[in-house]
Structure 1
């Protein structure tokens, strides 16, 4: 198996993986989405709410705020020996303010500075003159298979690596394929007077170029054991952390089958 990193930022990762079949990459995709645990607010106690938003709606909004997660120091509630919540499986947060002002995710004050909203600019509630809000929230580890708020990924997808073949003997350089390609994968080379491929990995395999070619000079196919994998996270974990943990989970599942 070979892996080539094509693009990496704090919340996005694109890489090419070769020498595997679709079952493995699809397993990584699914595990990354629903089996890698993250932090999310689970319990909200409203102490005071004068704002024009129902308590339930505010609690739901708080639950969807992505929180930075430390998988090394926290455990799932199911694996913790406490009766309700403790510092090993949860973190307490406080939100309060008085209008006129808008409270944002950055106004959530956590007892642990390492476990806090991944983004500070998510609007939570707008308070008018004289309105007050005060609440306490408990965030804990959970998995996306239980609720979407615990999904670390906003996007996790893959596609086959494309193969485009141009038969220059059949091609009459009518430029129809160049004009119709929605992703600018093809380009006309003025010097060599031929159609060339300039951005193969951006091909979506729509095969528009092949369908519109009157001379059947273009063939679009895929490499069966090569894929382009893209993952984007909500900031709770980095893409590298998500894939690393997903790989460990997949390996653990494989060991269980082997040892069964």
Structure 2
């Protein structure tokens, strides 16, 4: 198996996986979504809420506010599989604001300087003149399989590597290039050919195939090659999510192997 990174930013990574199979790639996708630990607000104590927003809606909005959850932030915090998870105390947040103003995520005061909202400008609630909002909240580590607020990825998807071929036995159909919605095909009448500008941007929608009256172009894919994209909500780097997902998948495989070698005994 070969892996080639195509692009990488603070919150997105795109890479190509070659000589792999769909079950394996899909297992990585699922692990990245639901088996990577992340910090999110779990318990909310609303002491006073004079705003027009219901308490339940406000608590839900707080839970979905991304918090810094990289390796350094999570280190030392109890995980859901730990025996003392329910009794352990997470990171505490407090908020006290008076209107008129818009309350933003930056107004949440954390008991741990490392763990704070990823973005300062997420609007939480709007307070009118004289309205007061006072809350206390507790953030804990969880997994995306329990709730979306613990899911580190906003996009985690793959597609099979596109393949475009041309039928040299028929006349060149330049109209099929104009039908491409992503502009990856370009007609070059001087050299009498259609150029493929960016094969990896092809969505395999086959608009070009439908536009060709003489079946000049064919769109398919490489069966064992994939383009994988991971985008996070900023709580942790996408590369960290990928590595942790691979570690989790490896541990599951080792557990299954031990289970098989021991004859199915626990």
TM-score, normalising length: structure 1: 0.94
Partner of 2:53: 53
**1:152·1:236 contact (CA, 8 Å) conserved in 2?**
yes
Aligned positions, number:
256
Partner of 1:147: 147
Q: Residue 74 in 1 paired to residue 77 in 2?
A: yes
Q: Secondary structure at the match of 2:74?
A: coil
**2:19·2:224 contact (CA, 8 Å) conserved in 1?**
yes
Q: Output the CA distance in 1 between the equivalents of 2:76 and 2:180.
A: 49
Partner of 1:162: 162
Q: Per-residue CA shift, 1:26-53, capped at 9, x if unaligned?
A: 0111111111111111111112211111
Partner of 1:192: 191
Q: Residue 63 in 1 paired to residue 52 in 2?
A: no
**1:168·1:194 contact (CA, 8 Å) conserved in 2?**
no
Q: Output the CA distance in 1 between the equivalents of 2:139 and 2:123.
A: 18
Q: Output the CA distance in 1 between the equivalents of 2:112 and 2:83.
A: 18
Report the Cα offset of residue 82 of structure 1: 6.2
Structure 2: gaps of 5 or more residues? 260-266
Report the Cα offset of residue 114 of structure 1: 0.9
**2:152·2:241 contact (CA, 8 Å) conserved in 1?**
yes
Q: Output the CA distance in 2 between the equivalents of 1:182 and 1:96.
A: 50
Across the aligned residues of Structure 1 and Structure 2, the Cα RMSD in angstroms comes to 1.4
Q: Secondary structure at the match of 2:249?
A: helix
Q: Secondary structure at the match of 1:79?
A: coil
Q: Output the CA distance in 1 between the equivalents of 2:188 and 2:86.
A: 70
Q: Output the CA distance in 2 between the equivalents of 1:13 and 1:151.
A: 17
Report the Cα offset of residue 80 of structure 1: 5.0
Q: Output the CA distance in 2 between the equivalents of 1:82 and 1:186.
A: 55
Report the Cα offset of residue 83 of structure 1: 5.6
Partner of 2:232: 233
Structure 1: gaps of 5 or more residues? none
Report the Cα offset of residue 196 of structure 1: 1.1
Partner of 1:126: 126
Shift in CA distance, 203/83, structure 1 to aligned 2, threshold 3 Å: closer
Moved more, 72-81 or 111-120: 72-81
Partner of 1:243: 242
Q: Residue 256 in 1 paired to residue 224 in 2?
A: no
**2:78·2:85 contact (CA, 8 Å) conserved in 1?**
no
Partner of 1:25: 25
Q: Per-residue CA shift, 1:194-222, capped at 9, x if unaligned?
A: 11111100111112212221222212111
Shift in CA distance, 13/171, structure 1 to aligned 2, threshold 3 Å: farther
